[in-house]
Structure 1
């Protein structure tokens, strides 16, 4: 009966009511011992699984991409600090070069945007000038046609007066 209670970690309330205080204390003590034993067992199993995962080589993925870290003599991931190795540029120089490159790219981008803006402005001015020129030509043609009509009308009136 005790083994079943410890396995299920449950005791029927009616059965619990029949036990005296000393038996209840012993039962709860045993249940707590079982809880601690299970917890330690799960913790040990989790550590073993974690160690097994660290030791096993993972198979390649379907896409063929994988990462393999370079390990140092201590078995940990090898780390290189920029600027500490012989022949390395100092960190300040590397960061200055990066900042200068970013500034150059930003300036180039701004210059391109300014170029596009000026180009659009010139195109607009050209279109406006072309539209004005077309309007001037049309107005000039209209003026010439109007003058021609007036001249034709005057000639017609002269001819009619001569005929009278």
Structure 2
């Protein structure tokens, strides 16, 4: 079911990745690693839904997303740099099959690291992060985001 949320803050993590904090609808639930379909509540953009992973924890009072902007893609990610606090977004119910099943070596590239943000944050909070490794690659050093977080967690 579609829900309207307001952007509370947007922080640039590097040249093309932002950390977006929004309102959390009352009763909205998800698990670490899950995603939602998100669109901009703007004319001509409401139907342009794209999947984005939650980077906040389910018990947080806000929803958080880390989103990479692709200026050459004609869609939602192209519009990310224009999002401002107070803007309205639309989200659907949470979905996804990425879930933690035990200690291991996890591999991700670029924006593919986003499901692991909430998963590792959750494990660190519970004191259960031990025994996990994370291999994370980017094309260029300037593309790296959340490096300090990953190093602190793991």
TM-score range for the pair, normalised by the shorter chain length: under 0.3
Q: Find the structure with the greater CA-based Rg.
A: 1
Going by fraction, where is strand more abundant, 1 or 2?
2
Q: TM-score, normalised by structure 1?
A: 0.15
Structure possessing the higher relative contact order (Cα contacts under 8 Å, 6 or more residues apart): 2
Going by fraction, where is helix more abundant, 1 or 2?
1
Q: TM-score, normalised by structure 2?
A: 0.15
